[in-house]
């Protein structure tokens, strides 16, 4: 797959949003005021926003047209049926519970299934999923293959489950301790890495032998299906929809944040293959937290945009362009000598800051320091996945515990930026690389007791030049 720009986007641009350019001195002032935390910046002060690919997609004319067909009836709006039909068609799931976003679907599923002391087995649980498991005093267990945790090692499916460990866990703890197995496709936490169909089938076989249900976290399932088509023998001639149908057939249901592969700005759902009883229980929780069964916290127009976005998200020309753009940024960064998680995943590039800023100890928040530098250099907003997000103080000794990986994620919104924007990101990295030894570390001056990365404040350790 040539990732260079040998052919153009499979769309043309109908509406544009002007983005503001700022001067370096303005950015110096703004980032200082923000406590060197980009979550505290205003979106309009950012030139290229790579904070997340979640809820940031550009909708199509077809989706916007659908928004005008929103049926805002409290009960039974037609857009719910459109969404249900799309999910029946693409995923093969009968029962659909709309929610305001992905974590709300997780909340409903966990309320039904997870009890204190249990273990939820996953390849790598996303943060919100892990949170929902932990607040129920259960344990999230991550069983990704060892290659999945090594940034420089190439493997076509770094999101795969370690099937031996999966079976060993089940044997050790038993069915009663394990409410379900959750497969996150693609695996966000190690770089948007895909899971192979053979591996998903393997999880299903093992789980079935012990009578354990399997669920998918389907936020980025379409990107995962595209990687299967490109990389897994036997899938080259299948359509993305056929691949999706097979993938979902191995699970009992899914949660989905529609803010990713359904190309919308808000929304999500929980779906069950055929368990009517479980669906009715889910509706009870949905009604308490989200809303009536046919809207679940969303407007009719939002349901319509998801229904249409689901089809656009499995369009092969769209996916080819999407995955190619991510790969393009990755290859250009590698050419500039920037160490990244290889191979590039589906929704962004993850810079390996332990290797890039090797002069900074983890105590000086190297990944956060790079995030600050990217903003100062070119108004680019990335996100830290390192000591700030995952480091913590040992409650007994008060000593810092540092995470294995120190990463900066450049998440690429869908259909929003062109390759020219990617070129600008690469240029910023080249400039930073040329003076990287002089990049100062940071000192944490404020932290909240939980999820500190959203509100943390820093100071620069030495004067910045
Ligand atoms: C991402 C997000 C959005 C996010 C969430 C929390 C903190 C910062 C940013 C959300 C996911 C996800 C997967 C695999 C479920 C959710 C929750 N990702 N599963 O990567 O990646 O969905 O945001 O709609 O509630 O920036 P939700």
258 Cβ contact partners less than 8 Å away, ≥ 6 residues apart: 101, 102, 264, 266, 267, 268, 269, 306, 309, 310
Residue 423 has pLDDT above 60, yes or no: yes
What are the tens digits of pLDDT across the range 57-91? 999 999 999 999 999 999 999 999 999 999 999 99
**Residue 60 Cβ < 6 Å to ligand 1:** no
Whose C-alpha lies nearest to ligand 1, atom 26? 52
Please report, for residues 245, 359, 367, 368, 388, the alpha-carbon distance to residue 383 in angstroms, rounded to integers and kept in the order given: 33, 20, 9, 8, 10
pLDDT band of 398, cuts 50, 70, 90: confident
The CA 129 to ligand 1 mean position distance, Å, reads 9
What does the pLDDT average to over 91-95? 98
Classify 146 as helix, strand or coil: helix
Buried/exposed code over 232-251 (b: 16+ C-beta within 10 A; e: otherwise): beebeebebbebbbbbbebb
- Taking the centre of ligand 1 as the mean of its atom positions, its distance from the CA of residue 54, in whole angstroms, is 7
- Ligand 1 center to residue 368 CA distance, Å? 20
**pLDDT the model gives residue 448:** 86
User: Given ligand 1 and candidates 102, 104, 218, 289, which is best to mutate, with the most ligand atoms within 8 Å of its CB?
Assistant: 102
Cα–Cα distances in Å, from 190 out to 142, 158, 238, 315?
12, 8, 27, 25
Q: What are phi and psi of 293, to 5 degrees?
A: -60, -25
Find out whether the beta carbon of 56 lies less than 6 Å from any atom of ligand 1.
no
Q: How crowded is residue 229: how many other Cβ atoms within 10 Å of its Cβ? A: 20
Please report the pLDDT score of residue 393 as a whole number: 85
Q: What is the pLDDT of residue 465?
A: 46
The 3-state secondary structure of 376-414, one letter per residue: HHHCEECEEECHHHHCEECCCCCCEECCCCCEEEEECCC
* Contact predicate 366/441, CB 8 Å: yes
Report whether pLDDT(356) > 70.
yes
Q: Is the per-residue pLDDT at 462 higher than 80?
A: no
Residue 257 beta carbon below 6 angstroms from any ligand 1 atom: yes
- Gyration radius of the chain over CA positions: 22
Look at residue 461 and tell me whether its pLDDT is greater than 60.
yes
pLDDT score, position 395: 85
pLDDT score of 7: 77
Nearest by Cα to 183 from 218, 156, 229:
218
224 lines ligand 1 (CB under 6 A): no
Residue 128, ligand 1, Cβ within 6 A: yes
Helix (H/G/I), strand (E/B), else coil: 150? coil
Q: What is the pLDDT of residue 122?
A: 98
409 lines ligand 1 (CB under 6 A): no
Q: Is the pLDDT of residue 201 over 80?
A: yes
Backbone angles phi, psi at 333, to 5 degrees: -70, -40
Which residues lie closer than 8 Å to 68 by C-beta, 6 or more apart? Answer: 301
- Inform me whether the pLDDT recorded for 5 exceeds 70: no
pLDDT at 4: 57
Task: Please give the structure tokens belonging to residue 337.
Answer: 């000598």
Distance from the CA of 403 to the center of ligand 1, in angstroms? 20
- Condensed to tens digits (0 to 9), the pLDDT of residues 211-265 reads 999 999 999 999 999 999 999 999 999 999 999 999 999 999 999 999 999 999 9
Q: How far apart are CA 447 and CA 453, in angstroms?
A: 8
Residues contacting residue 71 through CB under 8 Å, at least 6 positions apart: 77, 78, 79, 300
| Structural domains of the chain, ranges and CATH numbers in brackets | 4-53+316-460 (3.90.1150.10), 61-312 (3.40.640.10)
pTM for this model (two decimals): 0.96
Decide: 288 and 111 in contact? Cβ < 8 Å.
Answer: no
- What does the pLDDT look like over 14-69, one tens digit per residue? 999 999 999 999 999 999 999 999 999 999 999 999 999 999 999 999 999 999 99
Atom of ligand 1 nearest to the CA of 51: 26
Which residues participate in catalysis according to the annotation?
74, 126-127, 217, 219, 260, 453
Q: Over the stretch 135-193, which tens digit does the pLDDT of each residue have? A: 999 999 999 999 999 999 999 999 999 999 999 999 999 999 999 999 999 999 999 99
**Is the pLDDT assigned to residue 6 strictly greater than 70?**
no
- What does pLDDT average to over the chain? 96
SS3 assignment for 63-95: HHHHHCCCCCCCCCCHHHHHHHHHHHHHHCCCE
> How high is the pLDDT of residue 259?
98
């Amino acid at each position: 797959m040539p990732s260079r720009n040998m052919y153009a986007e499979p769309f043309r641009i109908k509406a544009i949003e002007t983005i503001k350019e700022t001067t370096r001195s303005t950015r110096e002032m703004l980032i200082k005021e923000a406590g060197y935390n980009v979550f505290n910046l205003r979106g309009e002060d950012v030139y290229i926003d790579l904070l997340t690919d979640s809820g940031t997609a550009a909708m199509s004319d077809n989706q916007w047209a659908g928004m005008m067909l929103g049926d805002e009836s409290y009960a039974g709006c037609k857009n719910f049926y459109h969404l249900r039909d799309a999910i029946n068609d693409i995923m093969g799931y009968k029962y659909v519970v709309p929610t305001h976003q992905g974590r709300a679907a997780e909340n409903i599923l966990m309320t039904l299934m997870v009890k204190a002391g249990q273990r939820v087995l996953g390849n790598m649980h996303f943060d919100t999923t892990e949170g929902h498991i932990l607040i129920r005093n259960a344990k999230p267990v991550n069983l990704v293959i060892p290659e999945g945790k090594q940034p420089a090692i190439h493997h076509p499916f770094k999101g795969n489950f370690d099937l031996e460990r999966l079976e060993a866990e089940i044997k050790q703890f038993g069915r009663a301790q394990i409410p379900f197995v959750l497969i996150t496709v693609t695996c966000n936490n190690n770089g948007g890495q895909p899971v192979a169909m053979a591996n998903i089938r393997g999880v299903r076989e093992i789980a079935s032998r012990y009578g354990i249900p399997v669920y998918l976290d389907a936020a980025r399932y379409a990107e995962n299906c595209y990687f299967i088509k490109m990389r897994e023998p036997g899938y080259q001639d299948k359509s993305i929809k056929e691949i999706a149908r097979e993938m979902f057939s191995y699970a009992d249901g899914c949660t989905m944040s529609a803010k990713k592969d359904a190309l919308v700005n808000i929304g999500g759902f929980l779906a069950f293959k055929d368990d009517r009883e479980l669906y009715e229980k889910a509706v009870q929780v949905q009604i308490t937290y989200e809303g009536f069964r046919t809207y679940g916290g969303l407007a009719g127009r939002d349901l319509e945009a998801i229904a249409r976005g689901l089809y656009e998200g499995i369009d092969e020309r769209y996916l080819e362009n999407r995955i190619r753009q991510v790969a393009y940024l990755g290859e250009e960064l590698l050419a500039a000598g920037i160490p990244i998680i290889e191979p590039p995943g589906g929704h962004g590039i993850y810079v390996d800051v332990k290797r890039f800023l090797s002069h900074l100890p983890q105590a000086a928040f190297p990944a956060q320091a790079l995030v600050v530098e990217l903003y100062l250099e070119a108004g680019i907003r990335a996100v830290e996945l390192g000591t700030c997000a995952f480091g913590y103080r040992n409650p007994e000794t008060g000593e810092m515990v540092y995470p294995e990986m120190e990463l900066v994620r450049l998440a690429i919104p869908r259909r929003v930026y062109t390759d020219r924007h990617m070129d600008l990101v690469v240029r910023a990295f080249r400039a930073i690389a040329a003076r990287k030894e002089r990049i100062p570390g940071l000192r944490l001056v404020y932290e909240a007791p939980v999820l500190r990365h959203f509100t943390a404040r820093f100071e620069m350790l030495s004067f910045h030049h």
